[in-house]
Chain A
Amino acid sequence: MSDEQMKLSKDVIADGYGLIAAAGYINNEGGQAIADAATELIDGGCETLLIDLDGTRIINSIGVSILLEIMERLLEDKGQLAFCNLTPTISKTFEIMGLVQYATIYTDRDAARAGLIGDASV
């Protein structure tokens, strides 16, 4: 649970759709790493971002506040933010802090692909 080193990868999974996979502690540094990856994908033409948090077990409010800023930038650009593979506690934290009102939550990556772009293949 307490691995502090963030493991992160990003990819374009379809035209206009970006994927960020992040595993580790989402604090100010982890949140900023996700934000930097999101900025690269958005600047590269992605209007919809899926953030897969498989392997992330602990977050803090500073990290979530950075995710909120990603969400706001996407909303300003008429884009969309989605998450998948959330633990119950991370899901509840997102609910408390208001992320789930503006982002879509999927159980896993296949469900997210199916819901966002109609493609269940990974």
Chain B
Amino acid sequence: MEVVLHLPVVPNVELVAAKAVETVGGALGMHQTGIEATSVAIVEACLNAMEHGGGQMVVRMSAETPAGRPGLVIEVEDSGDGFDPVETPRNSSTRVHGCTAKRGWGLTLIKELMDEVQIRSQPGRTLVRMCKYVENAP
């Protein structure tokens, strides 16, 4: 099973990807909580791609996980300037109150809500690859 979406940068297009997660995750037998966690993660990945990606993004979903366990693998690819994933600060819930910069939580949420996350980025191509196993609820 594979789904490929070519998404333009238009308001709320991230919900198209979330709807696809709901459909594909349900077909795989994923628990509702896992579907909702994956939906939030893909929404954040799409928002990042829209904000930094420089145009259309491509979302791919498949049921083949690297470990051979039942799960949903998602890739979100954009053609932006790229960034260094190692240099990206990991937000902390302890620095929220009184902090003026409340944005930039996308990658932190993705890493916390998904079972596996890989980020590859270079000028012209950023790929966020994430996996949610069917049996795991967040």
Number of residue pairs A-B, CB distance < 8 angstroms: 93
Supposing A61-B106, A61-B109 touch, asked if A25 and B97 sit within 8 A by C-beta, the answer is no
Supposing A2-B19, A61-B103, A101-B93 touch, asked if A87 and B47 sit within 8 A by C-beta, the answer is no
**Residue A119 CB within 8 A of the other chain:** no
Chain A interface size, under 10 / 10 to 19 / 20 to 34 / 35 or more: 20 to 34
**Secondary structure at chain A's binding surface: helix, strand, loop or mixed?**
helix
Partner of B18, one of A1, A95, A99: A1
Which residue on B lies nearest to A61, using beta carbons?
A: B105
The winner among B15, B44, B96, B98 for most chain A CB atoms within 10 A is B96
**Residue B49 CB within 8 A of the other chain:** no
* A27 cross-chain contacts in B, Cβ below 8 A: 12
* B15 cross-chain contacts in A, Cβ below 8 A: 2, 4, 25, 58
Which residue on B lies nearest to A1, using beta carbons?
A: B22
- Report the bound CA distance from A59 to B45 in whole Å: 13
- Report the bound CA distance from A60 to B42 in whole Å: 10
* B92 cross-chain contacts in A, Cβ below 8 A: 98
> Which A residues are closer than 8 A to B by beta carbons?
1-2, 4, 25, 27, 57-62, 64-65, 68-69, 71-72, 75, 87-90, 92-93, 95-99, 101-102
A-B CB contact pairs (8 Å), 27 listed: A1-B35, A2-B15, A2-B18, A57-B36, A61-B106, A62-B47, A65-B103, A68-B96, A68-B97, A71-B97, A75-B97, A88-B36, A88-B137, A88-B138, A89-B37, A89-B113, A89-B138, A92-B112, A92-B138, A93-B40, A93-B109, A95-B93, A96-B109, A96-B112, A98-B94, A101-B96, A101-B97
